[in-house]
A and B are shown apart, each in its own frame.
Chain A
Amino acid sequence: MKVQNNISINNQTNFTGASKLSEKIAKKFAKAGNIGEGTSIACDFLGKAVVVPAVIMLASSEPKENKEFSAFKNPVAAFIQLGLEVPVLMAGSKIVGDLADKGYFDKAKNARKGFSYNEKLQREKFIDTFEKIADKTPKIKEKSKDFLTSIKDGGYTKKAAEDIVEILDGADDKIKTAAIKSFKNFEHAHENKFHLQNRICFVAALLLTPFLCAIENYIHPKIMNKIYEKRAAKNPSKMVKMPNIETFLNHAKGAVPIQNKQGGAL
């Protein structure tokens, strides 16, 4: 009976733990924003630097040296990408964002209909609208001090989108509609700008690819040669004397295995 109770308590504890974990994961995903090229680059880096070399080394039946040469190409490419592509794309994204905030990508006709990339302007408009509403409604003013500070200092966040619904709860319908409409314009401009930055970064990444490949192609053999040189210096007995092509063809035709220094078949 006691054992049964213990099992039941353990099961209950595990269940509560799993449910709390699932709740935490759910909250994290609910607050996650700005998933775009950055997330894509991060996944790519992890896969390239860690997963691919492991898979090539484990799955291929090629000679170890050939596998190593191919497998090491990926971490080299991943670090070149991290060192060159990421800073260039981050700088590019900032430039696009700054230009968008200056109205560089907006067209008056679309902006009037509520389609804008100018997040800064829409934020200022929202703050202005909200402050006017708050001045007339002391209850909203009281509740919105932190909210306004966070918008002014940090811009749009998923939390702000939740907070405004709470702040306007119970307010007059007219006030609510005006504030929400202004906030939606701000939210849409934020999202439009983010997705525009992502698509421009994608085009920039494509344009950058030939340069990255050329650099990778230049650096990869050099790194591999260094690795082989170091390895050979540490353990000269393991060096394999490669046959010349004529010897190889003669042996191949006669189906005689070529012997390396230690007598193993090549």
Chain B
Amino acid sequence: MIQKVASSIANSSIVKNHIVKSATDPKFLARTLLITSVSKDVFAYALRVKNTLNNDEIPKEKKNFTAKMDAATCAATAVTQIGAGFIVSSEKFQSFFTDKLFKSLKDSPKELKNAKAAFNAVSTLVLASIGAKRILTPLFATKIASYNKEQKGEKSGNISLKA
């Protein structure tokens, strides 16, 4: 019974086409890895916000900043990663680098194809999940969280603690 369901899903046209395209289209593979990575992050950050707010062991003043930081990171990470990943995996961006980097493989089409496919996936992942997610996202998220805190401080008539 389980096997029947598993093989039906694995052989359904959606899964089959997805698997075949992942194996043959480097841009599709790079973007699939990007989307799976982003969706894991968004899900994890949403859970973290909920957990942080419900965690009584975290001091109140740190709790708010940490939760706001997580919520802002969640939004910023999705936008920056998808934006950066789609730009990096595009043909224009890829050919700009691969034409120069893989000049030596010009006479070996199969090797060139493999190298281009691997470079597309690796460069998309590195630039999106390290460059965009880890450098741009915290920069934006920190600003969003601090801005949010300032706005709330002004609305309630209190003086912001921000230096």
A interface with B by C-beta (< 8 Å): 19, 22-23, 25-27, 29-33, 35-37, 39-40, 43-44, 46-48, 51-52, 55-56, 59-63, 65-66, 69-70, 73, 99, 104-107, 110, 115, 117, 158, 161-162, 165, 188, 191-192, 195-196, 198-199, 202, 205-206, 209-210, 212-214, 216-217, 221-222, 225, 249, 252, 255, 266
Contact = CB atoms under 8 A, between A and B. Distances in A.
Which 9 pairs between the two chains have the least Cβ-Cβ distance?
Answer: A47-B134, A51-B134, A32-B118, A29-B115, A191-B23, A217-B51, A30-B111, A105-B10, A55-B138
13 contacts: A30-B114, A35-B33, A39-B125, A59-B139, A63-B161, A66-B65, A70-B62, A99-B6, A104-B3, A105-B11, A107-B8, A191-B23, A195-B22
Contacts of A65: 62
Given A25-B101, A31-B114, A59 B51 contact: no
Given A39-B33, A69-B62, A62 B162 contact: yes
A107 B11 contact: yes
Contacts of B159: 252, 255
Given A47-B134, A69-B66, 4 more contacts: A55-B135, A206-B40, A210-B47, A217-B51
B11 A110 contact: yes
A225 B112 CA distance: 53
Contact of A209 (B44, B101, B116): B44
Contacts of B139: 55, 59
Contacts of B22: 191, 195, 198
A85 B8 CA distance: 28
A40 B36 CA distance: 9
Contacts of A63: 161, 163
A252 B116 CA distance: 60
Majority DSSP secondary structure for residues of B touching A: helix
A219 to B, nearest CB: 11
A166 to B, nearest CB: 11
B61 A66 contact: yes
Contact of B52 (A35, A196, A217): A217
Interface in B128-150: 129-130, 133-135, 138-139, 142, 146
A74 to B, nearest CB: 9
A103 B62 CA distance: 53
Contact of B37 (A32, A44, A61, A62): A44
B135 A199 contact: no
B10 A117 contact: yes
A188 B112 CA distance: 19
Contact of A23 (B8, B69, B104): B104
Contacts of A252: 158-159
A26 B101 contact: yes
